[in-house]
Structure 1
Amino acid sequence: MKILKYKKFTGLHIVCKKCNKLIEVSQETYKGCNHPIDRQKYKAILKQNGGRKTRDLKSVEYDEAIRELLDFKHELANPIRLIAEIPKVEVKHELLKDCIMMFGDWLENVDVPNHQKRPRSSSHIKNTLSNLMKFSRFLEDNKFDLNRFKIYDLNDVIIGKYYDHLDLTCKMATTYNHNTKSLKSFNNFLINQKGFNIPNFFGKVKLKYESMNPTSIKDDYFKKLLNAISNEDSICIYPNGRRKNEYRPYTRDAIELVAYTGMRIEETMSLKFSDIVLDDDGNIQHLVGTDLKFERAHNWNNTKAPKKVLIPISAELENVLNRLDYKKYMGTDKYLIADDFNISRKTLATQLSHSFTFFRKKANLSDDFSIKHLRKTFLTKLHTKTGFIESLGYQRSAKVTLNNYIDKVQVVKEINKIGFGYFNE
């Protein structure tokens, strides 16, 4: 039987692909293989790390087979080349509804290369896609068939009509802007990520001005709310009949901690006893918090040092820490709030927000403030009483703080207390 040309070379073999026997020198040695030469293949068999690596070579010419063998050997010495995935053949979706589904996968990092992945919260993804589905429903209501409507069918007339619709249905500028940002993101994805040759229609849409008017919580309102927090009459009955006890042993401490640190709710719930810093005399100097919102937006891949916030100590904050027995747990990795409970910090923050709303209603207070206003209250007090708000890192810039967190009415009241005059008389 004729066989492929063979000359001994380390790692090179000839194998019959019909009976899977080696037939390098003669047929007789390998027990009766008599299959024709077109069934034979050069094969590389190399030892590596105590095992064998094999590959069928493409060439039927000896010299070319040797080159393939050496290339295979080189690949084994460079393992990154071996694990490179074969790129998938991407289907070019054109229907608007398919493009929205593709965008949803991208937001969730489905089939996105690891170095391009971005962590996004489930609420962000849900709200973004909800805004896109609102646009789809608008098209359906105007007799467009979504089973035929392609992304190339978009035009300025359709988009202009949609924004006339948003002007009528969006009561707040923030709602209008959230819808617009979702559509802008979708349009940019199709152009920049998927290479669609379409105009950037939504890039031309201007966001509405959002008039910021931060308000803080009055001192007597906050004290009244704290006094209402107890295990008595703490059952909330939801519209569906479900009953839930909104009181927890840590509820009051947690709400006070949010108020006296000025951190966002989840950030406050993430504080640990190891975040307490003492001065040379052993007294509490400050706490060190982490700006989670900044981290998720600008340091999602952990390539930078975390953005820390230095939380000044106040008499009220020190009282809470004393109640939490900080001296006993000083320096430990225990959370200040609910460390012994099997609950995530994010879930704890949501639970606390619900409890705050319940006890605010129980205290017969108006519904024009929520737990988020505690941060505005703290920063307003810090600004009016010390003037050092820019130095501690609560926000990325002073402009963001002044526009979004400072209660201007309270600033005026503090100025009046000082006794402002043109000539200081």
Structure 2
Amino acid sequence: MKTSLEYKYFPGLTVYCNQCNLSIHHKNKGNKCKHPINKQVYKAIVRIPNSGYDRKTKILKARDYNEAVKEFIDFKEQVKNPVLYQQSDKKLKPQLLKDGIAMYIDYLQDEGTPHHMKKHLEQSYIKSTITFLKEFVGFIVKKGAKLNTYKLESINDSVVGKYCEFLEKKNGSNYTYNGKVKAMRTFFNYLIDNEDYKLRNVWKKVNLKSEKPTDISISKKDFFDLLSVINSEDAILQTGKTKRNMYRPWLKDLTKLKAFSGRRNAELFAMKWNMIHFEDDVPIYIQSPNIKINKQQNNFDKKDYQYSFVPVGEELLELLNELSLETNKDGSDYIIAPEIENRVTLETYASRYFTFFFKKLKRKYTRQLKHLRQTYITREDLFVNRKISMQHSNYRTTSKHYIDKREIAKEMVKNGFRVFDK
């Protein structure tokens, strides 16, 4: 019994799952769609001539591969014929909500996007956005909407109001409420700004709820108490009938490295021993590629990388020595969990493991792994305290273009920088 539609490589033609909202053709072997074949469709993606990189997409009616190819070719001729395209522009532009969402997800995933225009969004962001869009779709379906006929223009103030009321009754956090509203607002911004839809962004009228500040740091007591409870004893999380071991041998070292370097999770798992810079055989700083900025700027060649320079302060030096700095010096192994090849999986679950063990402290508040970055930056700011420029009226100009951060890192090491006082 077939589990997916037949597919042979044909430029611009993909197999698409309406349930996953993802392309599942051969280019995406990692996406193992488990939904039934009746959820799959053939999808056409065609560039509009003389428009730069604008394109049109269409969910095809054909269920047979050969018929899909014929339908694709007809659609391509329509789009590429300037006269016909002008006459049928409104017809070709997806008007249904489900098709607009499918087009938007392609956009988020850089599907068919020229290299220099790719956004390289985090998979976690794409996944949460898709979840939020699906929740809205589920809401309107429960209210009686028929997806095969429901148009984007049907989303008006009344619909938005009812959806916001629905979200409020769920009693979720303000952060979650805002995230769901922002997802819809950004979706409409895309339709209006990128695809020239003549729509009003009715989501702009929604007042977002107040959120707790993100500038939360972790105290010295919480930090060391947390380290003391990270062990293999009583580390099982039970959710329903599912049990999961939340302990990982590398978690305590990761927590320390996060606290003593302040870098983002992806950068921590990408850190290698040969990134450590020595002077007179003394480790001074870690030259860590700024993954977020490099993605945003499409920097994938090492010669174009932007770096962060992490001073090897007293605490970080102690950690590196514990992890056998002398033995690993100039080596190409990862500092954290070098035996694990899949770094993305490590990054995905690290925060969950951290949160599990912090809950064991039974505080009246919660802390997350990301708060160690705030902790580090707070201490760094207090230690360096450089916010005045003698050369520019705007210190940001000085900081961005003139300050050699390697020299700042050296000075911090020389003056005994620590995140937590002795």
Deviation digits for residues 124-170 of structure 1 (CA, Å, limit 9, x no counterpart): 22221222223223333433333322123333343344445445556
Distance in 1 of aligned mates of 2:103 and 2:205: 23
CA change 1:368–1:88 in 2 (3 A) is farther
Amino acid at match of 1:175: T
State the match for 2:304 in structure 1. 305
- 1:181 correspondence with 2:212: no
Distance in 1 of aligned mates of 2:108 and 2:384: 43
CA change 1:264–1:200 in 2 (3 A) is same
Gaps of 5+ in 1: 1-85, 397-425
Q: Which has the larger radius of gyration?
A: 1
CA change 1:173–1:108 in 2 (3 A) is same
Distance in 2 of aligned mates of 1:168 and 1:136: 17
State the match for 1:322 in structure 2. 321
Secondary structure at the residue paired with 2:222? helix
Query: For 1:213-362, what aligned pairs fall within 5 Å after superposition?
Result: 214-231=215-232, 233-279=233-279, 281-296=280-295, 298-300=296-298, 302=300, 305-339=304-338, 341-362=339-360
Amino acid at match of 1:375: R
How far residue 320 of structure 1 moved from its aligned partner, in angstroms, is 0.8
Question: Are the equivalent residues in 2 in contact too, given 1:382–1:389 (CA < 8 A)?
Answer: no
Deviation digits for residues 206-255 of structure 1 (CA, Å, limit 9, x no counterpart): 65554515332221222222223334x15414224444444444332222
Secondary structure at the residue paired with 1:238? strand
Amino acid at match of 2:336: I
Distance in 2 of aligned mates of 1:352 and 1:377: 18
Distance in 2 of aligned mates of 1:137 and 1:255: 39
Secondary structure at the residue paired with 2:284? strand
Distance in 1 of aligned mates of 2:312 and 2:375: 16
Amino acid at match of 2:348: T
Distance in 2 of aligned mates of 1:248 and 1:115: 39
Question: Are the equivalent residues in 2 in contact too, given 1:224–1:363 (CA < 8 A)?
Answer: yes
Distance in 1 of aligned mates of 2:351 and 2:157: 42
How far residue 367 of structure 1 moved from its aligned partner, in angstroms, is 5.3
Amino acid at match of 1:353: S
Question: Are the equivalent residues in 2 in contact too, given 1:379–1:389 (CA < 8 A)?
Answer: no
State the match for 1:147 in structure 2. 148
CA change 1:188–1:330 in 2 (3 A) is same
State the match for 1:197 in structure 2. 198
State the match for 2:369 in structure 1. 371
Distance in 2 of aligned mates of 1:159 and 1:242: 37
CA change 1:186–1:257 in 2 (3 A) is same
Distance in 2 of aligned mates of 1:359 and 1:112: 41
Distance in 2 of aligned mates of 1:96 and 1:321: 53
Question: Are the equivalent residues in 2 in contact too, given 1:236–1:358 (CA < 8 A)?
Answer: no
Distance in 2 of aligned mates of 1:314 and 1:112: 43
Amino acid at match of 2:367: F
Aligned length: 306
Distance in 1 of aligned mates of 2:159 and 2:248: 52
State the match for 1:52 in structure 2. none
Amino acid at match of 2:176: T
Distance in 1 of aligned mates of 2:193 and 2:330: 48
Deviation digits for residues 296-355 of structure 1 (CA, Å, limit 9, x no counterpart): 3x223548933322212222111111112222222222211111x233223223343333
State the match for 1:133 in structure 2. 134
Secondary structure at the residue paired with 2:310? strand
Amino acid at match of 1:129: I
CA change 1:172–1:333 in 2 (3 A) is same
Amino acid at match of 1:383: D
Instruction: Let me know the Cα RMSD of the aligned residues.
Output: 3.4
Secondary structure at the residue paired with 2:350? helix
Distance in 1 of aligned mates of 2:386 and 2:343: 29
CA change 1:246–1:310 in 2 (3 A) is same
TM-score by length of 1: 0.62
Secondary structure at the residue paired with 2:216? coil
Query: For 1:54-65, what aligned pairs fall within 5 Å after superposition?
Result: none
CA change 1:314–1:359 in 2 (3 A) is same
Distance in 1 of aligned mates of 2:133 and 2:322: 48
Identity score, percent: 30
Amino acid at match of 2:320: L
CA change 1:151–1:256 in 2 (3 A) is same
Amino acid at match of 1:347: T
Distance in 2 of aligned mates of 1:93 and 1:144: 17
